Amino acid sequence: MSIRELLNPSNSALILIDHQPQMSFGVQSIDRQTLKNNTVALAKTARIFNVPTLFTSVETESFSGYIWPELLAVFPDQQPIERTSMNSWEDRKLVAAVKATGRKKLIMAALWTEVCLTFPALEALAEGYEVYIVTDASGGTTQEAHDMSVQRMIQAGAVPVTWQQVLLEYQRDWAHKDTYDAVMDLVREHSGAYGMGVDYAYTMVHKAPQRQL
């Protein structure tokens, strides 16, 4: 297995780190509503393709607040792994949960990029994992902090991706009808102009009835 091998639902796991209110308040590198849209869409991608997904949070009740409810709603039975360390890879519970997935390709997104994404990404790389950082589901305290941290992780061997890239890399072939409808629904809900184009094609080209929300 190597970074040249495409991501697929059976070779990867998703780790979502510290998407909590207090962490969100400090984000300046991306519009925060866009950040939420992208992160929730990434989680829904994992749900559609049955990809093992882990949530971890830091100092929930004493500082950071609960993980966004829209994110938790995607996996309502998932219990976030609570910790005190800024570096989630220093938490034995998280590392054990990662090992239990049996996956070597780790897709990570976090707040903030320069701390809660960079630290575990570097540690996981050092332990032989392949790390894919979802840059548009992560945010830094400044644009420079985000960009320099992404560069640091790339130099260490991490692979930058976006949430929609992960979605389409998993789908790969529109002939995969078992996930096609769910992917199209996700695109229409979270992909902006791309989703609008899908609606247009369905209704104006293929003459599907107008959807009622």
Q: What is the pLDDT of residue 200?
A: 82
Q: What is the pLDDT of residue 86?
A: 96
The tokens describing 149, both together, are: 């941290």
Look up 17 and say whether it is catalytic.
no
Low-confidence ranges of the chain (pLDDT < 50): none
Which CATH number do you get for residue 56? 3.40.50.850
Question: Do residues 74 and 166 both lie within one domain?
Answer: yes
Tens-place pLDDT, residues 44-84: 999 999 999 999 999 999 999 999 999 999 999 999 999 99
Question: Do residues 90 and 115 both lie within one domain?
Answer: yes
Range of the domain at 107: 12-170
- For 81, list phi and psi in degrees, rounded to 5: -90, 110
Count how many domains the chain has. Answer: 2
Tens-place pLDDT, residues 108-123: 999 999 999 999 999 9
Question: Do residues 47 and 94 both lie within one domain?
Answer: yes
Question: Do residues 29 and 129 both lie within one domain?
Answer: yes
Q: Which of 43, 46, 116, 134 is catalytic?
A: 116
Q: What is the pLDDT of residue 4?
A: 86
Question: Do residues 67 and 161 both lie within one domain?
Answer: yes
pTM: 0.95
Q: What is the pLDDT of residue 169?
A: 98
Question: Do residues 193 and 156 both lie within one domain?
Answer: no
CA distance to 134, 192, 196, 201, 203, per residue, from 209 (Å): 35, 20, 15, 11, 6
Q: What is the pLDDT of residue 211?
A: 64
